[in-house]
Chains A and B, each alone.
Chain A
Amino acid sequence: MSNFAQKHRGWTRAQVALAFFVLTAAIACGLAIYSSASSLIGLSRTAFSVLFLPLLLSLVLAFLLDPLVTLLEKLCMRTGSIFIVYILALGLASLAVLWLTPHWREFWNNMGADFPRYTAQVIVALKKVIAALHDRFPMIAEFDFPGKVRIWMEQLMSAILAETPQSALKIGGLLVIVPLFTFFFLRDGRSILRACVALAPNRHFEMVRDLSYLVSRQLSHFVRGRIIEAIIVGLVVAVGLSFTDIRYAPMLGIFAGVTNLIPYIGPIIGMVPGILIAFVDLGVGGQFWWIVILYILIAQVLIDNFILIPILISRVSNLHPLLVFFAIIVGGKFYGIIGMIIGVPILSVIKIALLEIRTYRRTFRLPESSLEGERPH
């Protein structure tokens, strides 16, 4: 080693040792920084995943309540009007809870007993279908379809039972966090947006301000429209079902409303439990067909497609069905059922933002190009 050191322009042993230590220290530092950086990324990812749902819910709620707050703001200060809206919302929520509580209790008491019954009925029906099919296509005999369905249903039930205490805790946390976040979004939303816009460099500031206005206006229309649509569809289903002898009418209404947020697939998923319960409890008869007509014709075709969508939602936010499926699959991969529900709206939001930017650019390019005569048409 000393030979080598001396050959190379008189590096002494001490210098070689020093170089060795410096290199080792550098590598160690690099590794430490790298590992801490990756743990930092991990930390921020955890923080994001924890904050994602409450932030999203409170943003949606803020979009929903903002017009009301702005309306009241003409009478008093913004903070005061937010409090008034909160008190009103609290009143409505407690009324809803009062209305739901008996059903809720009944729901939980019966759920444990009813679910296996429904499964059993469905399996019996499936067996009939399979037997009928078997007569025509003998080769499917080996495939134990009803057995698979039973296992799958049992898994679903046990998952729901196991998740319930956990999700109850989560929902309790959300009930505290979401109103708090919403309050600040409502009160300071504009100044938060202003602060974000102010970060833009001077040269692009004007355009960023304009685009932020256009995009946020479109967004609030879209979010408000979807939520109001879901609430109305849910209400129509709940009221329509309560005319029949079906159980869990309010729960089914809420389910139909929530799933209605997903285009194309949502309404179908939303009507499955209602039609299943109707099929098992009421049998195929007048009430069953009323429920089917309610779900498909009244709630979906009449109320949603003919009345709500043309009024509330612009065609701009329409997504290609293929994109809808992508959003649902990817959303489900990331955040489970909640991801499936919010995946499509988030994609629509991105599409709205991109479209706004494009129309904005086009608006300003046309007069310019006509001046310069670049595009002879």
Chain B
Amino acid sequence: MDPLWQNIFRKKLNEESLAFFLKNLPIFSELSPRALQILEGIVHVRSYKANEPIFEEGDPGSGMYMIRSGTVKIFAGGQDNAENELALLAQGDFFGETTLTAPAPRSASARTLEGTELVGLFRADILELAEKYPAVSSSIFLGLTRVVSERLQAASLEIRRLRKQLGEPSAPENIET
């Protein structure tokens, strides 16, 4: 490319930037440009080959992954012989967000299906951020809480629907709605 013409394509380059990718995720959609810039500095971009395990059930979980490109399969049951596919995730999806704040073993395994680029955000980075930029980290946590509670709500609705399908009398309501 002629260096003279490079400036014309700057917009396009911006769209390929990490900040642009993060901004388009539901978790970080309400972050300010400065917060995005700081966030860009603490996430880890990792590239995976096809069929590479990202984590396995029972691994110590300490953060979430966002898919920048490629496909990821989430499955339960550990080894390949009896894989129980739970979800197939593509670009823009994210997973593992429940272990970001509370250290817990992974509840399912994740594996790439093709060459995949993941953006990792880990508890250690968030905790360091919380000490340095409390305002930025609280807006990240707010977005995270929103997404997690949306998922929780959907899950509890699903549980109620399944109960009804089974014909069980609806149990005492102890699930947050």
A interface vs B, CB < 8 Å?
A: 70, 73-74, 190, 194, 197-198, 202-203, 205-207, 209-210, 212-214, 360, 363-364, 367-368
Contacts and interface: CB of A to CB of B under 8 A. Distances in A.
A210 B46 contact: no
B63 interface: yes
A12 B104 CA distance: 74
B131 A70 contact: yes
Contact residue range for chain B?
A: 20 to 34
A207 B46 contact: no
B44 A205 contact: yes
B26 interface: no
B175 interface: no
A206 B63 CA distance: 8
B104 A202 contact: no
B62 A209 contact: yes
Closest A-B pairs by Cβ, 6 of them: A213-B124, A364-B60, A210-B62, A368-B58, A209-B122, A368-B105
Contacts of B46: 202, 205
A202 B104 CA distance: 19
Nearest to A207: B60
Contacts of A73: 132
Interface in B93-115: 103-105
Interface in B32-77: 44, 46, 48, 52-55, 58-63
B62 A202 contact: no
Interface in B102-145: 103-105, 120, 122-125, 127-128, 131-132
Contacts of B127: 213
A210 B44 contact: no
A198 B120 CA distance: 11
A206 B55 contact: yes
26 contacts: A190-B128, A194-B44, A197-B44, A198-B44, A202-B46, A205-B44, A205-B120, A206-B59, A206-B60, A206-B63, A206-B122, A207-B59, A207-B62, A209-B44, A209-B122, A210-B60, A210-B124, A213-B125, A213-B127, A214-B124, A360-B60, A363-B60, A363-B103, A364-B60, A364-B103, A367-B105
A202 B122 contact: no
A147 B90 CA distance: 84
A81 to B, nearest CB: 11
A363 B62 CA distance: 12
Given A209-B63, A209-B124, 11 more contacts: A194-B44, A206-B59, A207-B59, A209-B44, A210-B60, A210-B124, A360-B60, A364-B60, A364-B103, A367-B105, A368-B105
Given A73-B132, A360-B60, A368-B58, A210 B123 contact: yes
Which residue, A74, A194, A206, has most C-beta atoms of chain B within 10 A?
A206
A52 to B, nearest CB: 28
Given A213-B128, A364-B103, A367-B105, A202 B123 contact: no
Contacts of B103: 363-364
B153 to A, nearest CB: 26
A17 B141 CA distance: 77
A190 B125 CA distance: 10
Contacts of A212: 124
Interface in B9-37: none
A202 B52 contact: yes
Contacts of A74: 132
Contacts of A214: 124
A200 to B, nearest CB: 10
